[in-house]
Amino acid sequence: MPDHSIDEFLHRALNLAREGVGLASPNPYVGAVIVDPHGTVVGTSVYTYAGVKHAEVLALEQAGDKARAGTLYINLEPHSHQGRTPPCTDALIAAGIHRVVASMPDPNPKVSGRGFEKLRAAGVHVEVGQLEAEAHRLNESFGRYIRHHVPLVTLKSAMTLDGKIAPPAESELNRVAGIPVGGWITSEAARAHVQQQRHASDAILVGIGTILADDPLLTDRSGLPRRRPLLRVILDSRLRLPLESRVVQSAARETARKNDVLVFYSSAEERKKSELEARGIRAEHLPSASDGRPDIHAVLRRLGELEITSVMIEGGATVNATALASGIVDKVFLYYAPKILGAADSVPFAVGTSFRQLHEARQVKHLHLHRFGEDFAVEGYLRDPYGE
């Protein structure tokens, strides 16, 4: 079989895995392609959490006897341990798979490499590493979560070329609608992409300042299916969240009570907590940091306990600065519009005192640029999600 077919089949497996976005968390995105000895695809599948069975097992079921002596192409190492399902390696060996081509090992340090070892011990030829960078990016949130028990944190913001996220003042009409004075900063295409970003996230996080200023809904409006609702997380040290805010009203209207709004506070009256909980809001106390706000590291640990593998921060200047100064940010996704506000009292991307010298600036690495008409976005990493 020509070598170029390896890339072709692995790309197909990766594209299948992407179909699991919104459906597989807290487990990884996995796509599987089984090819018979003649080079014909005889089985394909994608993993979804609700479906229970893993992608390789579903592909084997589709292929039937045609899988014997065939090759499995998969973006992630087949698991060899007993979890919600029996080991996939056992199913592959029993089906007579001759060769497994995988892009990357399992990022879980407790099991990484064991699946490959078990397959090799059974006489299966194993190849690892092709399209590994692409596979890592696809499952970067799972990698961070499974290694460190906290979600991958993406700091997202939209701004002008001179780094302003809002003009000096906002009218009451625009504040209620969540629209900056004069319209949105970025284009409709860029804002549509933000919804895709939200869809790929388990949670969205803002500070109470954003709620009071913009009254946003903080929902996933991509229209794509998801297994569990987007968790809307609000940092609100004194529970100032207005009962008439759109996020509270939306939670109160949910007949099934999705419990998709979680407020972290550090000091508040029991009466206000009870009022919010009566409207379907989850309010949890966390220890405060030196500034009196809920400790951001405690927030991440709690989200990890809730099996949140990824969170996107869409806060204002204060939350942005706090997140960067605390060192919790793994990556940034910054949208820019070709506009200049210029006014000295326009709202900057971040307001804080942690970085006063150039040598203190956070370095963003592994940059990717995205275009949305005249707008563009910079995606980059402050930390390797697989690192320590």
CA separation, residue 320 to residues 260, 314, 325 (Å) = 22, 8, 9
Cβ atoms of residues 210 and 241 within 8 Å: no
Cβ atoms of residues 202 and 231 within 8 Å: yes
Q: 3-class SS at 71?
A: strand
Between CA 195 and CA 231 the distance in angstroms is 14
Place of tokens 């944190």: 153
Tell me, letter by letter, the H, E, C secondary structure of 343-359.
CCCCEECCCCCCCCCHH
Extended strands (E) in the chain? 31-35, 41-46, 71-74, 99-102, 125-128, 152-160, 164-166, 203-207, 231-235, 261-265, 282-285, 310-313, 331-337, 347-348, 365-372, 375-381
Is 307 marked active-site? no
Cβ atoms of residues 22 and 199 within 8 Å: yes
Q: Which of 8, 19, 56, 307 is catalytic?
A: 56
Region for 215 from its dihedrals, namely left if φ exceeds 0, alpha if ψ lies in -120 to 50, beta otherwise: left
Helix (H) or strand (E) holding 209: helix 208-214
Amino acid letter, residue 285: H
Cβ atoms of residues 314 and 156 within 8 Å: yes
CA separation, residue 89 to residues 2, 118, 124 (Å) = 26, 7, 10
Between CA 320 and CA 318 the distance in angstroms is 5
| Residue 177, burial from CB neighbour count under 10 angstroms (0-12, 13-18, 19+) | middle
Cβ atoms of residues 122 and 272 within 8 Å: no
Place of tokens 């989850």: 282
Buried b / exposed e along 16-32 (16+ C-beta atoms within 10 A): bbeebbbbbbbbbbbbb
Active site residues: 56
